[in-house]
């Protein structure tokens, strides 16, 4: 078990490599030493006890079952179904292919549009396209940054084949009302719970909403299987169909029963996911401590708002997102430029929005002013198992420094050395 200590013994680079920034000349963009020599990212990279991982791996190795629904992927499916409080779980090679196959399976025949948010995962329109559907982008609620019934409803029409609700990366979307809407309109609902796999919504476990929900086992996510994905559902027919489709559509030897692809999860990925699942609760304790350290480190910084987890629900507290308010002195692009130079791999949170990206295929979007405004304002900060509490405090210190000195460094691509001299801070 790895409960975080402040330094979080990660070896070289575990603690900030430069002293706190006191003047502009200290900034890495002005040739100061970067805060972190080893960059800190927002990828979780949960690392289970290696002996645990090897013990799981030995099972498939000894049984010589490397893939094709081996014992570990079967065990993983059973445990994930239990985690999400559903009847069935089907594992896949990735969350992406789980989404594609599930959308294809759920879409109403003869209809070709999928309604989904534009402020979401960067490749989600491609998912729709691979499923032979046309993405119709809907608005999001400015408080949850996610769809709700009022933003989905105007986009429903005679061509709607399926609704894809995506949980945001902090807390959940109003999935119950979207579920009611879909039911009332007799439309299938797929939920992307990739960033919410630990959460509950109004006390009900995420994984049990809509017709099915999809999750990722990518190394950046809460349950790290290196790569991988899974779908949860109470619909046995859907689970059986998707289990066939992920394995070329074969039912038995050379008996092709379905149009299919190869999207199976192999056994070594299942071993990693099982080892991480065993340590999930400890991992969440660490995420919670990291999040609360961020809360203290960012408290009172003018122009910055940390998105707060609803801790009345079960929540992983894994992702750290801040909003740059109107009185933040820097553009988001300039903020990212300064942070990244310091080894802080902060990212623009879902920008540009999907309807603002060029695609080689057809997409549909009405005016989406809320999405466009929100797509300018959020930054994802480092979190996950490689970020220590000391790192968090240092990141908070840097943001506090930028909040007060930012005006002098505001010009994108501007020469910071010059700004430092002008501010009388450079030697
Ligand atoms: C919200 C969301 N959905 C789906 C995916 C795709 O998952 P995978 O990387 O397992 O294909 C991602 C990946 O980051 C994601 O963030």
- Overall average pLDDT of the 341-350 stretch: 96
Question: What is the pLDDT at residue 422?
Answer: 62
- Overall average pLDDT of the 248-264 stretch: 89
- CA-nearest residue, atom 7 of ligand 1: 95
Question: What is the pLDDT at residue 420?
Answer: 60
Does ligand 1 lie within 6 Å of residue 162's CB atom? no
Question: What is the pLDDT at residue 133?
Answer: 98
Does ligand 1 lie within 6 Å of residue 301's CB atom? no
Question: What is the pLDDT at residue 418?
Answer: 66
Beta carbons of 156 and 185 less than 8 angstroms apart: yes
- Overall average pLDDT of the 279-291 stretch: 98
Quickly tell me which residue has 């030995």 as its tokens.
58
Given a cut of 50, whether residue 1 has pLDDT beyond it is: no
Question: What is the pLDDT at residue 3?
Answer: 46
Does ligand 1 lie within 6 Å of residue 26's CB atom? no
Q: Given the CA of residue 167, which atom of ligand 1 is nearest to it?
A: 1
- Overall average pLDDT of the 389-410 stretch: 92
Q: Given the CA of residue 220, which atom of ligand 1 is nearest to it?
A: 14
Q: How far is the CA of 168 from the centre of ligand 1 (A)?
A: 12
Question: What is the pLDDT at residue 257?
Answer: 85
**Residue 186 φ/ψ region, left for φ over 0, alpha for ψ in the -120 to 50 degree band, beta for the rest:** left
Does ligand 1 lie within 6 Å of residue 72's CB atom? no
Question: What is the pLDDT at residue 252?
Answer: 84
Given a cut of 60, whether residue 109 has pLDDT beyond it is: yes
Omega prior to 372 cis, within 30 of 0: no
- Chain-wide mean pLDDT for the chain? 93
Q: How far is the CA of 164 from the centre of ligand 1 (A)?
A: 14
For residues 240 and 407, which has the higher predicted lDDT (pLDDT)?
240
50-278 CATH pick, 3.40.190.10, 3.30.530.80, 1.25.10.10, 3.40.640.10? 3.40.640.10
Q: How far is the CA of 30 from the centre of ligand 1 (A)?
A: 36
Q: Given the CA of residue 166, which atom of ligand 1 is nearest to it?
A: 1
The tokens describing 6, both together, are 């402040």
Share of the chain above pLDDT 90, in %: 85
Contacts of 426 (CB under 8 A, 6+ apart): 23, 24, 25, 30, 417, 420
Q: How far apart are CA 324 and CA 301, in angstroms?
A: 11
Given a cut of 50, whether residue 427 has pLDDT beyond it is: no
Total Cβ atoms within 10 A of residue 64: 7
- Overall average pLDDT of the 289-315 stretch: 98
Q: How far apart are CA 349 and CA 369, in angstroms?
A: 17
Beta carbons of 138 and 367 less than 8 angstroms apart: no
- The structural domains of the chain, with segments of one domain joined by +, span 24-46+279-346+382-422, 50-278
Question: What is the pLDDT at residue 10?
Answer: 40
Query: If you write DSSP's letter for every residue of 248-289 in order, what string do you get?
Result: TTBSSTT-B-S---B----HHHHHHHHHHHHTHHHHHHHHHH
Query: If you write DSSP's letter for every residue of 110-132 in order, what string do you get?
Result: T--EEEEESSS-TTHHHHHHHTT
Segment (H or E) for 76: helix 71-84
Q: Given the CA of residue 97, which atom of ligand 1 is nearest to it?
A: 11
The band of 421, judged by pLDDT with boundaries at 50, 70 and 90, is low
Q: How far is the CA of 124 from the centre of ligand 1 (A)?
A: 8
Quickly tell me which residue has 């990660």 as its tokens.
10
Residue 164's Cα: distance from chain center in Å?
Answer: 16
Given a cut of 90, whether residue 406 has pLDDT beyond it is: no
For the chain, first and last CA: distance in Å? 47
Does ligand 1 lie within 6 Å of residue 215's CB atom? no
Does ligand 1 lie within 6 Å of residue 213's CB atom? no
Q: Which CATH class is domain 24-46+279-346+382-422?
A: alpha beta
What are 142-194's pLDDT values in tens digits?
A: 999 999 999 999 999 999 999 999 999 999 999 999 999 999 999 999 999 99
Given a cut of 50, whether residue 426 has pLDDT beyond it is: no
- CA-nearest residue, atom 16 of ligand 1: 121
Q: Which residues of 97-110 are buried (b: 16+ CB within 10 A; e: fewer)?
A: bbbbbbbbbbbeee
Given a cut of 50, whether residue 60 has pLDDT beyond it is: yes
- CA-nearest residue, atom 15 of ligand 1: 121
Beta carbons of 38 and 13 less than 8 angstroms apart: yes
Total Cβ atoms within 10 A of residue 300: 8
For residues 250 and 131, which has the higher predicted lDDT (pLDDT)?
131
What are 220-230's pLDDT values in tens digits?
A: 999 999 999 99
Does ligand 1 lie within 6 Å of residue 265's CB atom? no
Residues paired with residue 137 on neighbouring β-strands, in sequence order? 116, 365
Q: How far is the CA of 195 from the centre of ligand 1 (A)?
A: 8
The tokens describing 159, both together, are 């061509």
The band of 423, judged by pLDDT with boundaries at 50, 70 and 90, is low
Does ligand 1 lie within 6 Å of residue 95's CB atom? yes
Contacts of 52 (CB under 8 A, 6+ apart): 275, 278, 279
Given a cut of 60, whether residue 309 has pLDDT beyond it is: yes
Beta carbons of 179 and 154 less than 8 angstroms apart: no
Question: What is the pLDDT at residue 258?
Answer: 84
3-state DSSP call for residue 331?
coil
Question: What is the pLDDT at residue 409?
Answer: 79
């Amino acid at each position: 078990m790895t409960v975080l200590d402040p330094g979080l013994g990660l070896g070289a680079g575990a603690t900030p490599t430069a002293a706190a920034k006191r003047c502009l000349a200290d900034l890495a963009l002005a040739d100061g030493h970067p805060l972190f020599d080893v960059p800190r990212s927002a990828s979780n990279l949960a690392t289970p006890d290696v002996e645990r991982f090897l013990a799981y791996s030995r099972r498939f190795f000894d049984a010589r079952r490397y893939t094709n629904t081996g014992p570990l992927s079967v065990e993983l499916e059973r445990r994930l179904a239990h985690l999400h409080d559903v009847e069935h779980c089907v594992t896949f090679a990735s969350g992406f292919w789980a989404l594609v196959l599930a959308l294809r399976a759920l879409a109403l025949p003869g209809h070709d549009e999928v309604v989904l948010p534009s402020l979401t995962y960067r490749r989600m329109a491609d998912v729709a396209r691979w499923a032979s559907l046309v993405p119709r982008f809907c608005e999001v609620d400015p408080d949850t940054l996610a769809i709700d019934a009022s933003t989905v409803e105007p986009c429903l029409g005679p061509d709607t084949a399926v609704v894809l609700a995506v949980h945001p990366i902090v807390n959940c979307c109003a999935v119950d009302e979207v579920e009611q809407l879909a039911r009332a309109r007799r439309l299938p609902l797929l939920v992307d719970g990739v960033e919410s796999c630990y959460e509950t919504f109004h006390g009900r476990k995420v994984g049990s909403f809509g017709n099915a929900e999809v999750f990722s086992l990518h190394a950046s996510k809460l349950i790290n299987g290196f790569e991988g994905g899974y779908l949860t559902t109470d619909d046995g027919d859907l689970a059986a169909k998707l289990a066939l489709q992920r394995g070329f559509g074969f039912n038995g030897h050379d008996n092709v029963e379905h149009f299919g692809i190869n999207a199976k999860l192999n056994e070594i990925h299942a071993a990693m996911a099982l080892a991480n699942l065993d340590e999930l609760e400890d991992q969440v304790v660490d995420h919670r401590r990291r999040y609360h350290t961020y809360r203290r480190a960012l408290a009172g910084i003018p122009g910055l708002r940390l998105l707060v987890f609803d801790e009345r629900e079960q929540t992983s507290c894994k992702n750290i997102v801040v909003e740059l308010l109107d009185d933040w002195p820097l553009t988001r692009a300039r903020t990212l430029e300064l942070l990244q130079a310091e080894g802080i791999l902060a990212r623009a949170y879902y920008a540009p929005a999907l309807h603002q990206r060029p695609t080689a295929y057809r997409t549909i979007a009405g005016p989406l002013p809320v999405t466009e405004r929100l797509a300018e304002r959020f930054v994802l900060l480092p979190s996950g198992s490689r970020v220590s509490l000391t790192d968090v405090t240092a990141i908070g210190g840097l943001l506090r420094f930028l909040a007060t000195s930012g005006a002098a460094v505001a010009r994108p691509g501007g020469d910071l050395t010059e700004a430092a001299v002008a501010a009388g801070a450079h030697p």
